[in-house]
Amino acid sequence: MIIAGIDEAGRGPLFGPMVMAIVAIKKNEQGFLVDLGVKDSKQLTPEKRTKISSKLKKTINYEIVSISPEEIDNALISKELNLNWLEAIKSSELLIALNKRIKIDKLYLDCPSNNIKAYTKYLKNYISTLSKSVKPQIIAEFKADEIYPVVSAASILAKVERDREIQKLKEEYGDLGSGYPSDEKTRKFLKNWIKKHNDLPPFVRKTWKTVKNIKNELSQKKLDSFNK
């Protein structure tokens, strides 16, 4: 039996892409992942993640997709989509892509929705629109990346790729912090960028509430200054 796991990295930050990965192995080879030190990527140091990611890419079947801030914004603006459905769509596309090389019998994934039943149904329906022949058993659970090594492996690949993308941004634009809304360095970078360019950075998620709040705050300060 071939099992697969899907996970994402970078769902919540203001900056950069969300990256998703799928990993597939034989069910009886899960011990290999454990021996390799695979666990939820958040529990590993960047150095350890990079090392494990390199070994995984040499020994397993996988696919990775990077979802741009623009695509995320478009999904959130759309009446038909939201971030959960976008994840389901990308999960389906990853599954179909990898299934062309190795037939997947069971798929585990970290469920982003509070409603596991509805999310699983949406995922199955979308998979069927892409392929009538790809019908793996789907197991969607909360914190699947902490439970199933195959999902943990996917989380590592996604996180390492996401970190690589963010490092490229830092090399081009300077230290923008972690990219998370709670990071004061990230918020300061965004404020300074808007003040200097009178616009948002090309790598920001414009629909994020924090981004809108900072933009409105600066606009109000500018208006107040003008009225004095």
Whether residues 89 and 144 share a domain: the answer is: yes
pLDDT computed for residue 222 by the predictor: 62
Q: Is the pLDDT assigned to residue 134 strictly greater than 70?
A: yes
Model confidence at 228, in pLDDT bands (50, 70, 90)? low
Whether residues 181 and 165 share a domain: the answer is: no
* Helix (H), strand (E) at residue 174: none
Whether residues 187 and 115 share a domain: the answer is: no
Whether residues 220 and 131 share a domain: the answer is: no
- pTM of structure: 0.93
Whether residues 158 and 186 share a domain: the answer is: no
Model confidence at 14, in pLDDT bands (50, 70, 90)? very high
* CB contact at 8 A, 195 and 218: yes
Whether residues 51 and 162 share a domain: the answer is: yes
pLDDT computed for residue 223 by the predictor: 58
Whether residues 161 and 181 share a domain: the answer is: no
Whether residues 74 and 164 share a domain: the answer is: yes
pLDDT computed for residue 159 by the predictor: 96
Query: Which whole number is the average pLDDT over 10-15?
Result: 95
CATH number, position 207: 1.10.10.460
pLDDT tens figures, 64-83: 999 999 999 999 999 888 99
pLDDT computed for residue 41 by the predictor: 84
Of 8-17, 151-160, 191-200, 216-225, give the lowest mean pLDDT range. 216-225
Task: Return all residues near 179 (Cβ < 8 A) that are at least 6 apart.
Answer: 10, 13, 14, 15, 16, 166, 186
Whether residues 87 and 152 share a domain: the answer is: yes
Q: Is the pLDDT assigned to residue 227 strictly greater than 90?
A: no
Model confidence at 217, in pLDDT bands (50, 70, 90)? confident
> Judging by beta carbons within 10 Å of its beta carbon (0-12, 13-18, 19+), is residue 133 exposed, middle or buried?
exposed
CA–CA distance, 157 with 61 (Å, rounded to integer):
12
pLDDT computed for residue 220 by the predictor: 74
Range of the domain at 197: 173-227
Whether residues 121 and 205 share a domain: the answer is: no
Whether residues 34 and 113 share a domain: the answer is: yes
Q: What are phi and psi of 201, to 5 degrees?
A: -60, 150
